[in-house]
Amino acid sequence: MAGSDWMRRAACTRMEPDIFYPVGDGAYAREMTEIAKQACLSCPVRAECLRQALETGEQYGIWGGMTPEERRDLARRDMRRRRFAAARMRGVAR
């Protein structure tokens, strides 16, 4: 699929968008986060959604079943893996 055509197939298109953008860290925000993550579990375009958020540096909302903090952690781990792999290829890391 080209561009953002995948968005039309996303499970969240049939849901209230505010659920995917919880504000704060109180009980209500945690509940909305869990509802959003549950919707993402069965979404047919979850991988595309997460990729979009990672590639664009999306700082807000639940994308691909992950919070902004979870996406930052994932991006950091991926960056470390890439650096390590590059170092191994150069013979620096063993």
Specify binding-site residues for [4Fe-4S] cluster. Answer: 12, 40, 43, 49
Check: CB of residue 39 under 8 Å from CB of residue 11. Answer: yes
> Residues annotated in the binding site, as ranges?
12, 40, 43, 49
Place of tokens 């579990």: 41
**Measured CA angle at 75 (ends 20, 19), to 5 deg:** 5
